[in-house]
């Protein structure tokens, strides 16, 4: 089967990058699959994720059209704030202008010339693109969702905000839609009138790393975006924990637009001696091998790859209730799920884990067991099954 995956830059840090490279690097070992990835080639720094050399790469910039200073961009940017295009009258304008006609023509020509069996759009942007051009290409099309329905369509500024008539038209044209959790399936299906399939993100192999539970060691890993990742809640939680745990040490792994804000908050709150703002790393498991607890303070979280990675090392995880955490963590068994957004209760659960080593070890043992439910050995066969079903029109 000849497949093509449209995705954002796989060489940079992020959940999509980790998931897509994990699956494709294993899928390419099956000689029945010929894989091409279309992505931006822009590079800054070293490559954080490796792509198997047998996977063909196509520079997306060869297919895209630069409309950086075109008036139409400002129209759609304004729509993300007030949603004035979400009506039947504006729908033809959206279909003709949201993606440049020349760009759509380039994609159509490329997909048809390459004669792909299945084209997968990873994320909302590429799902919408495929929905628009579906009628003009021979390949079957799949929209592979990597976040929640709400984060894609309901938040002002989100890609699909104020475009629901357009979104429904595009998504209904696709041959398949994959979502991350059963909760997502309910929302996508009910709101878009589709029948999606649940595909968990696979757990990357960790080379048998197991944590040593260093005293007072708390870990946070994720893109540093204040609202999404709840970095304001994170600071509040760390402050509360520090009052109860004198030997507290927190490592924050990741980078992003809120890096400077977070650094300033750490200094302002006097947490500088307790918090290490590490930045990015290509060996996160060296830190998983030391932590006693992982925290995730996201306001919304489609899945949570760092949760799985931590659990595979025996680390209990404390997180706010969210689609991903709720699907992964078994409350009071291998971690804790805390009500939105009770930082007092959150901190108490972290302190409890830090102060009770036997409970921590038992939860860690259960976490390892739970993480195996998301192993690549379980996810990859389902990925293949969904591909085959899409190719056959099932």
Dist CA 79 CA 71 (whole Å): 13
Nearest C-alpha neighbor of 235 from the set 201, 267, 266, 204: 266
> Cβ distance 342 to 293 under 8 Å?
no
Cα separation, 250 vs 369, whole angstroms = 25
The answer to whether the CB of 307 falls within 8 A of the CB of 289 is: no
- Domain assignment present for 209: no
* Number of domains the chain contains: 2
- Stated as kind and residue range, the H or E segment containing 56 is strand 56-59
260/118 same-domain check: no
pLDDT at 43: 58
Asked if residue 212 belongs to a domain, the reply is no
Domain shared by 233 and 91, yes or no: no
Confidence of residue 46 (pLDDT cuts 50, 70, 90): low
Query: Looking at the domain assignment, is residue 225 inside a domain?
Result: yes
Contacts of 369 (CB under 8 A, 6+ apart): 334
* Residue 268 structure tokens: 């302002």
**Window from 34-38, 209-213, 302-306 with minimum mean pLDDT:** 302-306
Give the mean pLDDT of the chain.
Answer: 93
CA–CA gap between residue 287 and residue 310 (Å, rounded): 9
Q: Which two tokens stand for residue 276?
A: 């290490």
Q: Is residue 81 part of a domain?
A: yes
Which residue shows structure tokens 């957004």? 341
For residue 179, being part of any structural domain is answered with yes
Q: Residue 315 contacts by C-beta under 8 Å, 6 or more apart in sequence?
A: 211, 219, 288, 291, 292, 293, 294, 364, 367
Lowest pLDDT segment from 76-85, 193-202, 216-225, 279-288: 279-288
Q: Which domain holds residue 274?
A: 217-374
Query: What does the pLDDT average to over 311-333?
Result: 96
Residue 11, pLDDT score: 78
- State whether 62 and 195 are in the same domain: yes
Do residue 46 and residue 147 come from a single domain?
A: yes
The predicted structure's pLDDT at residue 289: 95
Do 317 and 175 lie in one domain? The reply is: no
The answer to whether residues 47 and 95 belong to one domain is yes
Q: What is the pLDDT of residue 337?
A: 97
pLDDT of 3 higher than 70: yes
341 alpha-carbon distance from chain centroid: 21
Instruction: Judge if 302 and 223 occupy the same domain.
Output: yes
Domain identity same for 22 and 158: yes
Q: Among the residues of the chain, which ranges form H helices?
A: 15-27, 71-82, 91-97, 101-114, 124-133, 149-153, 164-173, 182-192, 226-229, 231-242, 259-268, 285-288, 305-312, 323-328, 343-355, 357-371, 376-391
Residues 254 and 221: beta-carbon distance below 8 Å = yes
Distance separating alpha carbons of residues 385 and 377, to the nearest angstrom: 13
CA angle in degrees (0–180, nearest 5) for 305-310-315: 150
pTM: 0.86
78 & 113 share domain? yes
**Do 357 and 226 belong together in one domain?**
yes
Residues 261 and 169 in one domain: no
208 in a domain, yes or no? no
Q: Quick one: pLDDT at residue 208?
A: 82
DSSP annotation of 375 reads B
The string over 370-392, giving b where at least 16 C-beta atoms fall within 10 Å of a residue's C-beta and e elsewhere, is bbeebbbeebbeebbebbeebbe
C-alpha of 169 from chain center: 24
Establish if 207 belongs to a structural domain: no
Whether 46 is in a domain gets the answer: yes
Residue 66's CATH number: 3.40.50.2000
Rounded CA gap, 48 and 59, in Å?
18
Residues 271 and 149 in one domain: no
């Amino acid at each position: 089967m000849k497949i093509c995956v449209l995705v954002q830059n796989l060489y940079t840090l992020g959940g999509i990058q980790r998931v897509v490279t994990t699956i494709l690097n294993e899928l390419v070992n099956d000689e029945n699959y010929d894989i091409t990835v279309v992505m931006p080639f822009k590079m800054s720094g070293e490559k954080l994720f490796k792509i198997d050399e047998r996977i063909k790469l196509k520079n997306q910039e060869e297919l895209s059209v630069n409309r950086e200073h075109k008036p139409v961009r400002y129209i759609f940017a304004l729509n993300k704030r007030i949603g004035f295009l979400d009506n039947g009258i504006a729908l033809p304008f959206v279909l003709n202008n949201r993606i440049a006609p020349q760009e759509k023509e380039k994609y159509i020509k490329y997909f048809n010339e390459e004669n792909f069996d299945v084209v997968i759009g990873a994320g909302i942007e590429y799902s919408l693109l495929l929905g628009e051009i579906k009628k003009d290409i021979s390949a079957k099309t799949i929209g592979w969702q990597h976040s929640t329905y709400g984060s894609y369509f309901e938040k002002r500024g989100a890609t699909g905000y104020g475009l629901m008539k357009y979104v429904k038209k595009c998504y209904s044209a696709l041959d398949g839609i994959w979502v991350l959790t059963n909760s997502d399936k309910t929302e996508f299906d009910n709101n878009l009138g589709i029948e999606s399939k649940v595909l968990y993100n696979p757990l990357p192999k960790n080379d048998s790393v197991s944590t040593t539970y260093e005293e007072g060691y708390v870990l946070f890993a994720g893109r540093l975006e204040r609202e999404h990742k709840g970095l304001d809640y994170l600071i509040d939680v760390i402050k509360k924990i520090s009052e109860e745990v004198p030997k507290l040490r927190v490592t924050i792994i990741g980078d992003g637009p809120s890096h400077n804000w977070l650094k300033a908050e750490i200094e302002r709150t006097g947490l500088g001696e307790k918090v290490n703002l590490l930045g990015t790393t290509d060996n996160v498991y060296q830190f998983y091998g030391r932590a006693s607890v992982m925290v995730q303070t996201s306001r919304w979280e489609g899945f949570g790859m760092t949760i799985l990675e931590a659990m595979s090392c025996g680390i209990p995880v404390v997180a706010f209730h969210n689609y991903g955490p709720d699907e992964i963590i078994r409350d009071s068994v291998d971690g804790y799920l805390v009500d939105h957004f009770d930082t007092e209760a959150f901190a108490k659960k972290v302190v409890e884990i830090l102060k009770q080593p036997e409970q921590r070890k038992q939860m860690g043992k259960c976490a390892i067991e739970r993480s195996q439910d998301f192993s690549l050995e379980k996810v990859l066969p389902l990925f293949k099954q969904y591909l085959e079903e899409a190719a056959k029109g099932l």
